[in-house]
Amino acid sequence: MVNIDSEKCIGCGLCVRDCFPGKIVIVEGKAQIKNKQCMQCGHCIAICPQDAVSMIEYNMAEVKAYDRREFSVDADILLNFIKYRRSCRQFIDKEVEEEKISKIIEAGRYTQTGSNLQDVSYIVVREGLQELTALAIESLKETGEALLANPAPQTLGLKRYAELWLKMYEGFQANPQENDRLFFNAPAVIIVTANSEVNGVLASSNMELMTNALGLGTVFSGFFIRAAQDNQRILDFLGIKEGKKIVTCMVIGYPAVRYFRTVPRKEADISWK
């Protein structure tokens, strides 16, 4: 529920104009909100020059006043930061501090969601990583065997992956420490789940930026997403909540590799209308 302090409110109407659902009105020079229809997006909190708006269900101590010195990022530096990032598959043997993992998740928590659903959840796997790795690699092996045993025109493109998954399984069985080709002996993974896949992907993108800003490396494991698909053992192990689906799996650790430059990309495919 949104509360408007009538003593602070000056009736400027900024919140009315910025309220997309149109649930704020000015009555006798003061803003009033229709809480039953409010989506609690917080725009009224952010735009009020008098700090007259609060939300009862949320921790208002988290709200920070805008300060250009702390809130601005140079556009060219940000673009270079994005261009320089690389997927990391080499990690040193060092645990990632809990406070850094929390900050990565915080970047996801503050990412926009459709209709302000805030439906994104996070599963951090550290102590159970070996067990999860074994479950996932076994699942990939079974999927690979099924694809090779029952080839079809629509799955021909997956043959090379099926063969790779079998090799990954064989290597892992021989030496789990040296042949982890799924999580690359990283110390942690963060699995992002959501009701809306778009919301989960948007959160993951911001989380990746934060990961790199903290001096860590990460790679999104598409192989794990495939392994977890319809695999009840993995879903039960992770405790996936009802209605949510796994959107991304971020493998995280301190990088054991250094890159000296950015890399080229294809020209952007742009249509101007």
What is the domain-level CATH number for residue 52?
A: 3.30.70.20
Mark whether 38 and 168 lie in a shared domain: no
Claim to verify: residue 170 and residue 263 sit in the same structural domain: yes
Where does residue 72 rank: exposed (0-12), middle (13-18), buried (19+ CB within 10 A)?
A: exposed
Residues 20 and 116 both lie in one domain: no
Mean pLDDT across the stretch 203-208?
Answer: 98
Q: What is the mean pLDDT of residues 178-195?
A: 97
pLDDT of res. 53: 97
Contact 124, 190 (CB under 8 A): yes
Query: Per residue in 107-123, pLDDT tens?
Result: 999 999 999 999 999 99
Domain contains 120: yes
Residues 164 and 38 in one domain: no
For the cut 90, the answer to whether the pLDDT of residue 156 exceeds it is no
Mean pLDDT over 6-28 rounds to 96
- For the entire predicted model, the pTM comes to 0.94
Containing structural domain, residue 97: 73-273
State whether 149 and 171 are in the same domain.
Answer: yes
Does residue 67 lie within any of the structural domains?
A: no
Q: Do 114 and 217 belong to one domain?
A: yes
The total domain count for the chain is 2
Domain stop point among 36, 62, 88: 62
Same domain? For 83 and 130 the reply is: yes
